[in-house]
Chains A and B, each alone.
Chain A
Amino acid sequence: MRKRTPEPTRVGAEDTSATGLMDQDSAEDADARLDPAEAEALKAAQKSRFAELDRATLQSIYRQMLLARRFEEKSAEAYSTGKIGGFCHLYIGQEAVAIGAISAIGKDDYVLTSYREHAHAIAKGMSPDSVMAELYGKAGGCSHGKGGSMHMFDKEVNFLGGHAIVGGQIPLATGVAFATKYKETDQVTLCFFGEAAVNQGAFHESLNMAQLWKLPCIYICENNQYGMGTSLERAMSLQDISQKACAYEIASEFVDGMDVLAVREATLRAVERARKNYLPTLLEVRTYRFMGHSMSDPGNYRTRAEIERHQERDPLKLYSASLKEEGVLSDSELQKIDDEVRAQVEQAVRFAEESPQPAPEELFTDIYADPIQANE
């Protein structure tokens, strides 16, 4: 049995008891089917969220989520035919997290994440063409075929990777936030990582520095409840991740990661804290990945039934249902978006197929910015 600590105190330099926080009980149930009363409460919260947003934003969030989904379905196909190699970690099921959070920041803000980053890259504004070409290992890829699935970068849109050492991006993001404060800009940095990364020293070292030096970094823990085949219960002594922020006096929130607008709102609150007061936040976003850890996952550590239970709260299904209910999009409009997104993905595949392989001499470029020819 999983043990939860009674009532986590959320400490922060500011009040974080904002609306939209899920309490621990409903958070627990975010995993499972909701009982009718809770479903009602969630719906009411959602209604008020819808009221605050314009149609264009609501639609664009949907389009992005669907684009991420369709893009990855296509990537899985290309992987199975050998067009994509190496490790390939799909994000299907978690789209509400990246898209919701990144919808809360601007082009000048920074994003760093792990190897499960295709959706984050696209949400930050990278072209699906260059992401797909990177998966194909082609010269037209965002990292010119040198990074692959786990190392997408795009300086143009301040997407700073794509890091494949679990937890490695957390100190990096802390440093990016340090730099923005040093330069006295109002940029914020979003740092995404899986819940398994929370067990790394890098997480704890970073949170300590972020609060010590008041850095505008937003740490977003995507708690999909598994690190490869190891469930949270089997890996973490204190499983209430948002509570770990208390150890560093960082503001924290627990968020339903299947509700894209809830993620967006929690991120907006964190962004305000970061922009105005240079304060960090830890968001624990509860989500679930519907696919294996990577394309080679045998999947024998969880049951079909468990996956199906979570799929009932598929973030895309939840959001499209709300969009319809609120009269934002009709069935035919939803279908039209799907057609457009599929065409976009087809175009990305075409681009990747047609893009040339990196030139052989590229093997020896980009090692140093200031190469020194001393040993020629």
Chain B
Amino acid sequence: MAIVTMREALNQAIREEMQRDENVFLMGEEVGAYQGAYKVTKGLLEELGPKRVIDSPITELGFAGLGVGAAMVGLRPIIEFMTFNFSILATDQIINSAAKMLYMSGGQFNIPIVFRGPGGSAFQVSSQHSQALESWFAYFPGLKVVMPSTPADAKGLLKSSVRDNDPVIFIEQERMYGSKGEVSDDPELTIPLGVADIKREGKDVTIVARSLMVPVALKAADLLEKDGVSCEVIDPRTIRPLDIKTIIESVKKTNRVVVAEESHPFCGVAAEIASEIMERAFDYLDAPVKRLSGADVPMPYAKNLEDAAIPNVDQLVAAVKEVAYIE
């Protein structure tokens, strides 16, 4: 065990998986010589060589599709988007090719590929470089969507994603690359996809939070503890398939739930979770399910406006108090 950053944990996962399996290759913009736009791939070119760590031109649709084609015939690509904002150019290949190939081919061609990179809000880079796209990808059967919130989860989940035989969208929160935590150096330690993690146990209110909202939820829970409100914080970690069971079990215990997310509310993941809770645990609810989402606006540049667009600890505390009917 060592304390490492999210960035370093991801780096370890990629390195270990590439050492383990020769069919894994890494491709993306600036992943090699430049050491990664966010230094996640630092040292990999030197260690694994240019055959396996490939700097691509700025050609997202092209290299995403190249990855899917390579996956059709036995390779296991890790395709890095410099940021997920640019995956938008590649969505045809992700959705129409990767997600549907197994189905359209009657089970003949599965696509073992990981599309990864930073996503969610960044620091003051305005609308085109700061957005959460998980609900887009999670919409499609055939894709798996993973969003880690700690270095340990990042490492274990990325390793599982590389070993998984389906296309995985792996979204790393851009603001969290520097966040630190304990990480195992056992190369065989993986975390299964589709399993939520209870980040904090509690009995009064359930907070479902993912990615950037997990540390926010933990802080809110600390504050609320002082007010005598015990919060259970559940991190689904995998958005699709969603471990709804763990969420429902918690709601049955607490009878109150807030779903926090930095993404837009409309047609979002929190909306989906809220509706699942309504369908599966309506009779257990003592208050309507509350969503706390990012503002329904493109991300602004100005610091004060940007801060106002992303849910914060105070807002989450207020949301919890609302469902707990506390003034």
B217 within 8 A of A: no
Closest-by-CB residue of B relative to A155 is B108
B62 touches A206 (CB 8 A): yes
B123 within 8 A of A: no
Q: Which residues of A contact B101 (CB under 8 A)?
A: 161
Best-surrounded residue of A145, A168, A375 (most CB of chain B within 10 A):
A375
Whether A176 contacts B104 by the Cβ 8 Å rule is no
B73 touches A146 (CB 8 A): no
A201 contact set on B, CB distance < 8 A: 61-62
Query: Does A151 count as interface, using CB distance less than 8 angstroms?
Result: yes
Cα-based distance from A101 to B107 in the complex (angstroms): 28
| CA gap between A110 and B70 in the complex, in Å | 12
Does B150 sit at the interface, judged by CB under 8 A?
Answer: no
Which stretch, B6-14, B92-100, B221-229, B290-298, touches the partner chain A?
Answer: B92-100
Q: A205 contacts B245, CB within 8 Å?
A: no
| Pairs A–B under 8 Å by Cβ, sample size 10 | A143-B108, A162-B104, A179-B70, A180-B73, A202-B61, A206-B62, A374-B238, A374-B244, A375-B194, A376-B245
Which of B73, B92, B107, B165 has most chain A Cβ within 10 Å?
A: B73
Pick from B71, B102, B106: contact of A175, CB under 8 Å:
B71
- Cα distance, A168 to B72, chains bound together (Å): 14
Report if A175-B72 is in contact (Cβ < 8 Å); known contacts: A144-B106, A168-B65, A365-B107: yes
> Whose C-beta in chain A lies nearest to the C-beta of B90?
A171
Minimum C-beta distance from B78 to chain A (A): 14
A177 to B65, CA, bound (A): 12
* CB-defined contacts of A206 to chain B, threshold 8 Å: 62, 65-66
CB within 8 Å of B: which A253-276 residues: none
User: Do residues B69 and A367 form an inter-chain contact, with CB atoms below 8 A?
Assistant: no
- Chain A, residue nearest B52 (CB): A182
How many residues of chain B are within 8 Å of chain A by beta carbon?
Answer: 53
* Residue in B closest to A173 when the chains form the complex, CB atoms: B69
Interface size on A, residues (CB 8 A): 51
Tell me if A154 and B70 are in contact (CB < 8 A).
no
Q: Report which of A112, A146, A373 forms a contact with B103, defined as CB distance below 8 A.
A: A146
Given known A-B contacts A171-B66, A375-B245, A179 and B104 have beta carbons under 8 A apart: no
Is B57 interfacial (CB 8 A cutoff)? yes
Cα(A366)–Cα(B141), bound, Å: 10
Interface pair B141/A367, CB less than 8 Å apart: yes
Pairwise interchain contact B61-A209, C-beta atoms closer than 8 A: no
From A172, A182, A205, A372, give the contact of B97 (CB < 8 A).
Answer: A172
Q: Determine whether B241 belongs to the interface, using a CB cutoff of 8 Å to chain A.
A: yes
Which B residues are in CB contact (< 8 Å) with A162? 104-105
Q: Which residue of B lies closest to A202 (CB)?
A: B61
B56: chain A residues at CB < 8 Å are 209
B75: interface (CB < 8 Å): yes
Smallest CB gap from B62: residue in A: A205
- CB neighbors of B among A89-134 (8 A): 110, 112
Q: Which of A151, A154, A155, A369 contacts B104 (CB 8 A)?
A: A151
Residue A142, interface by CB 8 Å: yes
Q: Which of B57, B92, B142 contacts A209 (CB 8 A)?
A: B57
**Chain A residues, CB < 8 A from B66:** 171-172, 174-175, 178, 206, 209
**Complex contact A370–B166 (CB within 8 A):** yes
Given known A-B contacts A168-B96, A175-B67, A205 and B59 have beta carbons under 8 A apart: yes
CB nearest neighbor in B for A163: B97
Residue pair B105, A182 in contact (C-beta under 8 Å): no
Interface flag for B242 (CB, 8 Å): yes
Known: A179-B74, A202-B65, A375-B244. 15 other contacts (CB 8 A): A147-B106, A161-B101, A168-B97, A171-B66, A172-B65, A173-B69, A175-B68, A179-B73, A202-B61, A206-B62, A208-B59, A208-B62, A209-B62, A366-B103, A369-B166
User: Which of A182, A208, A375 is the one whose CB lies under 8 Å from B57?
Assistant: A208
> How far apart sit A112 and B109, CA to CA, in the bound complex (Å)?
13
A194 to B94, CA, bound (A): 22
A372 near B69 with CB under 8 A, answer no
What residue in chain A is nearest B96 (Cβ atoms)? Answer: A165
Which 9 pairs across A and B sit closest by C-beta, in order of nearness? A175-B69, A171-B65, A205-B62, A144-B106, A369-B110, A372-B194, A374-B194, A172-B69, A153-B105
